[in-house]
Amino acid sequence: MFGGHDTTASGLSWVLCNLARHPEHQERCRQEVRELLREREPEEIEWDDLAQLPFLTMCIKESLRLHPPTMGISRCCTQDIVLPDGRVIPKGVICIISIFGTHHNPSVCPDPEVYDPFCFDPENIKERPLAFIPFSAGPRNCIGQTCAMTEMKVVLALMLLRFRVLPAGEEPRRKPELILRAEGGLWLRVEPLSAGPQ
């Protein structure tokens, strides 16, 4: 529970930070949510609605790529692993896998430091299997992945209907700890939308 709380909070904070720095993406997310809830109150958002927010989902995933809450994972090899160059990682060895390094690999993502939600357009994802692993992958992946994504979608949808998020100061520097944080915290300005949800 603690890990899920802390990682989701980190993920949400970085998404808000990225949307604050990219108002065009923030506005597109807001319009997507408004269209989805056209004649309903924000509190009436339902489980099935969350699958109908493709751009918001792409923005969350791109933020998780740039700022994965968990920077790395370890795995014990259950069999010998032959690498492409012929070297072998023997069975029983514990390997450290850098999620951050994988997500910032220029051979996978040509401009790894640029926030571009369109990297997660369904057409582009097919070219990169297992290059996006903020929740790990395989049989030991995060059991709270669905819960975390759901929580982030709901919080962002409801926030964007009510507020405009703006940067407050310089771009934050990453501070890798057990969970990815920002040096000095992530500071944003939040303005209420005068017209309210439409």
Percent of the chain with pLDDT over 90: 53
DSSP 67: S
Residues 6+ apart with CB under 8 A from 107: none
Q: Is 59 assigned a ligand-binding role in the annotation?
A: no
Residue 126 lies inside a defined structural domain of this protein: yes
What pLDDT, on a 0 to 100 scale, did the predictor assign at position 58? 95
What pLDDT, on a 0 to 100 scale, did the predictor assign at position 196? 46
What tokens does 146 get? Answer: 């669905």
Give the chain's mean pLDDT: 88
Question: Is residue 66's pLDDT more than 50?
Answer: yes
Residue 87 lies inside a defined structural domain of this protein: no
Residue 166 lies inside a defined structural domain of this protein: yes
Average pLDDT over residues 143-162: 90
Residue 198 lies inside a defined structural domain of this protein: no
pLDDT band of residue 197 (cuts 50, 70, 90) is: very low
By DSSP bridging, strand 94-98 and strand 81-82 are unpaired
Question: Is residue 198's pLDDT more than 50?
Answer: no
pTM, entire model? 0.88
Task: Outline where DSSP puts E strands in 99-144.
Answer: none
> By residue range, what is the domain housing residue 143?
2-70+98-192
With beta carbons less than 8 A apart as the criterion, state whether 94 and 75 touch: yes
Query: Which of 23-27, 93-97, 163-167, 168-172 is the least confident region?
Result: 168-172
Residue 177 lies inside a defined structural domain of this protein: yes
Residue 83 lies inside a defined structural domain of this protein: no
Question: Is residue 25's pLDDT more than 90?
Answer: yes
The domain tally of the chain equals 1
Distance CA 84, CA 17 (A): 38
Predicted confidence (pLDDT) per residue in 67-80, tens digit: 999 888 899 999 99
Report the CATH number that the domain containing residue 23 is assigned in CATH. 1.10.630.10
Site of tokens 């597109």: 28
